[in-house]
Amino acid sequence: MSSPNEPPSKRTVMICEDEEDILDLYSSFLQRKFNVITALSGEACLSLYREERDRGKKVDILLLDYRLGDMLGDQVACKIKEWDDTKTILITAYEVDDSVLVDLRERECIIAEMKKPVSLPDLEKMIQQLLT
């Protein structure tokens, strides 16, 4: 679940996705340019995030699936928002109501949302934009 040792210059992207194939896909693609941490559930995501923070590491971007196995992505996003100002991108195949997304954006729990299937180059492009 945790990332291998990467050069310190790489920015850290945490991916939380309960579909293992998709998690591997995102991870494989983004590892080429980012330090990637993966989590298969909401609880695991929160736990790993806390660990990273305790170790003094910063998670720059959080890619968060909406419908996780154990909880919803908005709960995870808002919890992490309480701890830190990590930029969270909500990625969902689910038909999330617009009012929910507007609310999450207004409360700054998320910074952007993308609908599955996402284009990997588009995803990378968005991450790069948010990191600059």
Partner 1 sequence: MSGIFSKRNSALLLLIIAVAASLSIVSYNYSAHTSEQIEEIAVHEIRSNAEIQVHDLSNSLANKLADVTNNLNIIAKSPSVRQADFESARTMIDNAELASEDIVDFYMWLDKDGKIVWISNINQTTYEQYRGFDLSYRSYFIHPRDTLQAYYSSVTDSNDRILRLYISYPIIILNEGESFAGVVVAGVRTGVLGEFLEGQISPQLQSQVGLLDNRGIILYSKDTPYTGKNVFGVRYQSFLSSLDPESVNSINSGFKAALYSEAGSKDTAIGDTKVTFAYQPVILEGQQFGVLYIFAPHGQATAAAALIDQQEDLTMLMIIGIAASASGIIFVIFLWNKRLQQTVDTRTAELRKANEQLKAHDRMQQEFINIAAHELRTPVQPILGMTEMLESEMPDKSDDIEMIARNARRLQRLTEDILDVAKIESKSLKLKKTRFEIGEVMINLLNDYGRQKIVNGDVRFRYEPKEEVTIEADKDRITQVVSNLLDNALKFTKKKGTITITTEKQQDGQLTVRVADEGPGIDPEIFPRLFTKFVSRSQKGTGLGLFISKSIVEAHGGKIWAENNSDGKGASFYFTLPLSSDQASKIVEGEKTGETLS
Residues making contact with partner 1 (CB under 8 A) = 19, 21-22, 25-26, 28-29, 67, 92-95, 98, 115-121
The DSSP output letter for 111 is S
Cβ proximity to partner 1, 27 vs 88, nearer residue: 27
- In the complex, the smallest distance separating the C-beta of residue 49 from partner 1, rounded to whole angstroms, is 23
Q: What is the number of other CB atoms lying within 10 angstroms of the CB of residue 77?
A: 25
Cβ proximity to partner 1, 56 vs 121, nearer residue: 121
φ, ψ of residue 92 in degrees (nearest 5): -140, 145
Q: Which two tokens stand for residue 72?
A: 């919803």
Half-sphere exposure of 96 (CA within 13 A, CB side): 21
- In the complex, the smallest distance separating the C-beta of residue 2 from partner 1, rounded to whole angstroms, is 22
Cβ proximity to partner 1, 49 vs 126, nearer residue: 126
Q: What is d(CA 30, CA 15) in angstroms, rounded to the nearest whole number?
A: 10
- In the complex, the smallest distance separating the C-beta of residue 98 from partner 1, rounded to whole angstroms, is 7
